[in-house]
């Protein structure tokens, strides 16, 4: 992997991490298109550049999180189910799921269908809750739904936003909670992987990783601010359509 590859993948990570389109899925697909071998370093790189995206959310939301104990507690309750699933299935996730193109494309399409279906359903129901209104059970439920996103192509953002709306959070509030919940979730995933893998990186790989961190941060910062403005008045249906079209087109290109 070189710096050009690092820039492309990190930019995609920064933009896609907080949109309901699956950053992991897009990284796997683009790596395939660019013929980047799925080595252990590349897999670790795709996990580690999430830390740049984390920093963008921390800068934007740290005051709100630390000044409101209810929000802080709800994030903690939601994080627990994901942490358990991620820890127990770590070897399976990195060894089989990450880099699996067939699963990624399938989940990209199925996730798009789910987004469209659920958005149609939510039009018939009312979302009135704010993040502060969440109970322990509701927070844990969102965390449990988030854990489904260990499967590449599902999208952590899509899972948490739709999960939040499913229990009554307003779309903008569900999106904010998705961003906030990303902080412990992605920090844990990145930290745990680096703890197990960083000792095997050489100096050039560390430079590529540091560059990717910076690029991911810049693009994530811009994406988060744009997406919050978007969801104030629009649904996620266009993202669902994009996922279906992209999944089918990429299947036809990459499988034949």
pLDDT (0 to 100) of residue 101:
78
Query: What pLDDT, on a 0 to 100 scale, did the predictor assign at position 9?
Result: 94
pLDDT at site 167: 92
What pLDDT sits at residue 113?
A: 96
Which sequence spans correspond to the domains of the chain? 3-254
C-alpha–C-alpha distance, residues 139 and 129, integer Å: 12
Cβ neighbors of 43 (< 8 A, separation 6 or more) are 94, 98, 99
Per-10-residue mean pLDDT, the chain, length 256: 90 93 85 83 81 91 92 94 80 66 88 93 78 95 90 89 93 94 82 71 86 95 95 93 93 76
Q: Check residue 256 and give its pLDDT.
A: 58
State the burial class of residue 232 (Cβ atoms within 10 Å of its Cβ: 0-12, 13-18, 19+).
exposed
How far is residue 65's CA from residue 225's CA, in Å, rounded to a whole number? 17
DSSP structure class, residue 169: B
pTM comes to: 0.86
pLDDT, position 11: 95
φ and ψ at residue 98, rounded to 5 degrees: -70, 125
pLDDT attached to residue 28: 80
DSSP helix/strand/coil, 125 = coil
What pLDDT does residue 198 have? Answer: 65
**What's residue 84's pLDDT?**
87
Cβ-based neighbour number of residue 114 at 10 Å = 19
């Amino acid at each position: 992997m070189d710096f050009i590859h690092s820039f492309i993948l990190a930019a995609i990570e920064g933009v896609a991490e907080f949109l309901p389109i699956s950053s992991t899925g897009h990284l796997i697909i683009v790596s395939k298109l660019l013929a980047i071998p799925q080595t252990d370093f590349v897999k670790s790189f795709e996990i580690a550049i999430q830390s740049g995206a984390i920093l963008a959310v921390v800068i934007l939301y740290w005051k709100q999180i630390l000044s409101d104990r209810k929000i802080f507690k709800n994030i903690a309750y939601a994080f627990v189910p994901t942490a358990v699933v991620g820890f127990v299935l770590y070897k399976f996730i990195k060894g089989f799921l990450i880099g699996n193109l067939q699963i990624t494309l399938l989940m990209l399409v199925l996730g798009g269908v789910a987004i469209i279906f659920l958005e149609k359903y939510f039009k018939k129901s009312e979302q009135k809750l704010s993040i502060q209104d969440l109970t322990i059970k509701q927070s844990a439920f969102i965390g449990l739904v988030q854990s489904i996103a260990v499967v590449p192509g599902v999208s952590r953002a899509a899972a948490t936003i739709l999960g939040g709306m499913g229990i009554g959070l307003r779309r903008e509030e569900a999106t904010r909670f998705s961003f906030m919940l990303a902080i412990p979730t992605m920090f844990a995933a990145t930290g745990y992987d680096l703890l197990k893998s960083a000792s095997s990186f050489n100096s050039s790989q560390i430079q590529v990783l540091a560059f990717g961190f910076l690029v991911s941060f810049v693009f994530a910062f811009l994406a988060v601010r744009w997406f919050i403005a978007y969801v104030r008045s629009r649904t996620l249906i266009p993202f669902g359509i994009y996922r279906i079209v992209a999944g089918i087109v990429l299947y036809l290109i990459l499988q034949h």
